[in-house]
Homo-oligomer: A and B are copies of this chain.
């Protein structure tokens, strides 16, 4: 239980940002305190909306002095409860720090404040004919500070990496209010310890990210998008390796889709099948800046080798969007099939067939009749291992099994050297998994980092570490 801040402390904090930067009333506070799916709702004595890094610095200096706990919040799109105060913490929102500071097309870099939305960064890059490749469903709302604090992923990670890989420099405010300026646009710099990566993915528990410099890329001029039926998961992996090799490493997406997921999507989402051929699995392959000839050769070889049994290539942008709709609507389509228990997991790419086989059996043993809809980023081993309820079962009774089923699946994930949180992080949702699956040594080093950087435990307390 954290200390309740005194009225004097709250006033000192409010004075930093002025009345325009403070939200006190319950109605105005509500959007900041409710997680968008409604799973978490919080309360806070005060919401602070600083406008500068100096504001953030002064806020944390006061918080450190008075042992006032702080929850930093970016776009409030997180899925693990990390951004919602649950113990009367003061909420620090970055939503007034939204400036794009510089965009340099020759340097292929962009520098922005932490509250800039992901879309605004993509747009600023596009305005100078460059690509910022991070792309997520929530991109219009999520903010780059949150993307970095949670090391966001998405569809194109196999080509461009996670948020971590896209970051060249950071400005961070430490727990005691000191400003750590590591804002660099350098591609090579070996001057001392890499502190930047400690703050990326730390979910605001080690410092507050206030600015970032990010990598940009050439904008692809051409996309080749293929929807293929694959006979087995092993064949899909061969198709992935072959496409990467034969395209000269131009694969930017390789998504796995199961027949059941296609059925759900066609039934509920106003989409149609891409192929008449019915197969247990399909893949959506996309290459950037490849050629028609290369794509043809890849498909011919894949058919010859039986990596795929049928395929269609998008002939125009409308067809490309239609193929992608099958993938993008798959999550939503499950809502119409009753309760769905979800797992955000990853295993080594080559382990996917063994993992899915073993987890499918375990699932049937755990609860007969569940309907597995396992889809997602095969190219980087990250699966949305979503399980729809048995037909006719009571939805709530099914959803009550969420944590128990997670346990069964996560045990198998870890056995296959995988991750029980591939994209979404830990927050408050997966702290127990940290205790169960991480080694005592790893947890101990993580705790020592927390203690060193935030000795009074004021930054997002109770998140990440068990």
Contacts and interface: CB of A to CB of B under 8 A. Distances in A.
Interface of A: 104-109, 129, 150-151, 153, 157-158, 161-162, 164-165, 174, 178-182, 184-198, 200-202, 206, 217-222, 237-238, 240-241, 244-245, 247-250, 288-291, 346-351, 377, 380-382, 417-426, 430, 433-434, 437-439, 441-443, 445-446, 448-453, 464-465
Q: Which of the listed residues A248, A288, A351, A464 has the most CB atoms from chain B within 10 Å of its own CB?
A: A248
B348 A178 contact: no
B192 A129 contact: no
B441 A179 contact: yes
Contacts of A350: 104, 106-107
List the 6 closest pairs (A to B, CB-CB), nearest first: A248-B289, A197-B197, A187-B380, A189-B419, A107-B350, A188-B422
A153 B188 contact: yes
Contact of A218 (B178, B189, B248, B380): B248
Given A187-B158, A190-B424, A382-B188, A248 B288 contact: yes
A346 B190 CA distance: 10
State the copy count for this chain: 2
Given A198-B198, A218-B244, A192 B464 contact: yes
A220 B238 CA distance: 18
A187 B349 contact: yes
Q: Which of the listed residues A108, A193, A194, A288 has the most CB atoms from chain B within 10 Å of its own CB?
A: A193
B189 A422 contact: yes
Contacts of A437: 191
30 contacts: A106-B240, A106-B241, A106-B349, A108-B349, A129-B245, A174-B445, A180-B445, A181-B441, A181-B442, A186-B381, A186-B419, A187-B380, A188-B381, A188-B382, A189-B419, A190-B419, A190-B421, A190-B425, A191-B419, A191-B434, A192-B426, A192-B434, A192-B438, A192-B442, A193-B198, A194-B200, A217-B249, A250-B289, A445-B453, A449-B452
